[in-house]
Amino acid sequence: MYRILMVAWLGMLVACSKQEEFTGSLEFVSPVENSTLGERLTVQLQTAPAAAFIDLSLDGEIVARLSSPYTHELDLRQLADGAHELTAVAFFNVNGERPQLERRVSFTRDATAPKIVARWPQAGEPFTRACGIAAEFSEIIVPDSLSVTVRDGAGASVPASLVLLGGRKLLIFPAVPAALPTSWNISIMATDEFGNVLSEGPWGLEVPRLVEGLRPDSPGSSEMTIARSGSEIVMAYQEAVPGQETPAIAFGSLCKSGPAARVESNTGAVALATAPDGIAYAAHHGIHVHRLVNDVWGDPIATMPFSTWTWNVGLAIGPGGMMALGWQPAQEYRCQHAGRVVNGTLEELTGMPCGPESGLTTEPQVVVDGAGRPVFAWLERTAAGTASVRVVAWSPEGWVQLGESFPGIGYERPMLSVDAQGRPVVAYSSPANDGILVKVWTGTDWSDLPRLAAENWAFPKKLAVSGSTLFLAWEQPRAGGDFELRVSALGSGDTAWRTEAGPFDIIGPSHWGSVGLVTDQAGWSVLAWTNPASDGRYRIHTAWNNVSTR
């Protein structure tokens, strides 16, 4: 009897020793201890070795039984503000035994805590390198408090750069792996200006493919333009249609994937503009004007039937919603056309000055100044080859030229914008071969701004304004025949232009592609351009300030 009891006691001792030898782990990845949380929480736990399951309790009540990967979404809106506790009990299977581990973490529910109100891309959408992964906060975030972790599907850390726009929009640019598909898990911690803490994630993002050119290539097509619509950047570009000789116009978003809307058109001439209320509009051959509402380009809001093709179309929207258009009909080399939209009707503004006899003009650049006047600029050449830049404005009393024309070069069109005071600003290539000249209309005359200095010919491609800062996209030839593209900026009081982005490579002895330049809500410059590849097809490239997709 004593022998039997001794054996039983030894067996129990061995069993206890086995349990005591268990060295597994259970940890809360999210939330961290003493977090202040808002409306929702993604709970994530990790164990070693893998647990059979984990019971998760909130304030003493079991809310979920979790299996791998041990994550659970909690809706905190029904919780009272104040202190709460999460408890996790993990159950393991180890050598026939069932050891358990328990962990607790405290957090504070605060309805005023910052929240992530939007994030993209959505599940299943392709990852766009130009825009990265974006999250929008409900409140202004303190930059120094921002902490972001990106891990791949195996749990390894992924390097990523961060851009915080206006304190509320976060752009995350993870290092793109060589092999796709892949997955990422993103966690964000941040604090608002009142000290409230956001703890979000990890959320999973499948990356089925990488979108390099943002939209399908269009053989032989180089037309492309961009504009801001709210917090998004929208784009329009030519797209080849199988079985159709002429291209269609495709509309899409720089930072959202999915099928693009298409408009059948005899040419790819298209323009985009943003109204003061943030709504984007488009004008194209026809002439037709569309409005973007809830990510949908609706039927034309105004139309002017035009019997001939239009090589180029310009669109601008100014104070009070004044919408001005300019276009150049095919085979008309001297004269431009202008129009405006009034109460849903597109009417032509007749009498626009023409270029010299036997000469030609570039397509007009169009803006609306602070007084609500449509303003147009173009380069015109005489039959003898003398080039000059002319700027004119329209009013109900008729057309008036703003100051004297000034000498230009070649066939390079000037760029036109308006500054923060609503004054027209024009940029054009210097006849002295020393950069780009920039002038602002004072109301009575043109005043020189600092010249953008360059050692060779320089050609303005787009001019944009954000607050008191001018942004200029411009090209310059390189030795060997190729070009390079840059973005430079001039702030109020600056005595010289500074480089914001570039140089970016432009392929070919002359660049016939398109360049788009806008500024987003945070004042960053957003650049897009088309570039021919070795197969002759144009691809769309983008750069967000100095983060490029090329």
Global confidence as pTM: 0.66
Domains contained in the chain, number: 3
The answer to the question of residue 13 being in a domain is no
* Among 239, 226, 326, 320, residue whose Cα is nearest residue 280: 226
The answer to the question of residue 72 being in a domain is yes
Residues 46 and 163 in one domain: no
Give tens-digit pLDDT for 365-377: 999 999 999 999 9
Last residue within a domain, chosen from 162, 180, 210: 210
Alpha helices in 154-299 (DSSP H): none
Residues 81 and 162 in one domain: no
CA distance 313 to 376: 12
Give tens-digit pLDDT for 484-497: 888 999 998 899 99
Q: What is the pLDDT of residue 535?
A: 65
The amino acid present at 112, given as its one-letter code, is T
Last residue within a domain, chosen from 109, 126, 155: 109
Residues 367 and 496 in one domain: yes
More confident residue, 126 or 496: 496
Q: What is the pLDDT of residue 370?
A: 92
Residues 104 and 171 in one domain: no
Residues 355 and 263 in one domain: yes
CA distance 336 to 391: 13
Q: Do 70 and 44 form a contact (C-beta atoms < 8 A)?
A: yes
CA distance 297 to 300: 9
- Across 186-190, 287-291, 369-373, 520-524, the highest mean pLDDT is recorded for 369-373
Q: What is the pLDDT of residue 90?
A: 96
Q: What is the pLDDT of residue 448?
A: 95
- Mean pLDDT taken over the chain: 80
Residues 102 and 128 in one domain: no
Residues 72 and 205 in one domain: no
CA distance 302 to 469: 33
Q: What is the pLDDT of residue 282?
A: 86
Residues 353 and 456 in one domain: yes
Give tens-digit pLDDT for 179-222: 666 788 888 888 887 777 787 777 777 766 554 433 444 434 55
Residues 137 and 70 in one domain: no
The residue range of the domain holding 169 is: 116-210
Residues 261 and 320 in one domain: yes
DSSP character at residue 491: -
CATH of the domain at 242: 2.120.10.10
| pLDDT above 90: percentage of residues in the chain | 25
Last residue within a domain, chosen from 210, 245, 265: 210
The answer to the question of residue 269 being in a domain is yes
> How many angstroms separate the first and last alpha carbons of the chain?
84
The answer to the question of residue 537 being in a domain is yes
Q: What is the pLDDT of residue 403?
A: 93
The amino acid present at 90, given as its one-letter code, is A
* Among 135, 117, 123, 255, residue whose Cα is nearest residue 183: 123
The answer to the question of residue 58 being in a domain is yes
CATH of the domain at 179: 2.60.40.1220
Give tens-digit pLDDT for 436-490: 999 999 999 999 999 999 887 889 999 998 888 999 999 888 877 778 888 999 9
- Those residues whose C-beta lies under 8 Å from the C-beta of residue 375, and which sit 6 or more positions away, are 366, 367, 368, 369, 391, 392, 393, 394, 402, 416, 418, 424
Pair of tokens at residue 537: 């097809």
Would you list the DSSP string of 364-413? PEEEE-TTS-EEEEEEEE-TT--EEEEEEEEETTEEEE-S--EE--TTPP
The answer to the question of residue 7 being in a domain is no
The answer to the question of residue 9 being in a domain is no
Residues 302 and 446 in one domain: yes
The answer to the question of residue 56 being in a domain is yes
Residues 227 and 154 in one domain: no
DSSP character at residue 230: T
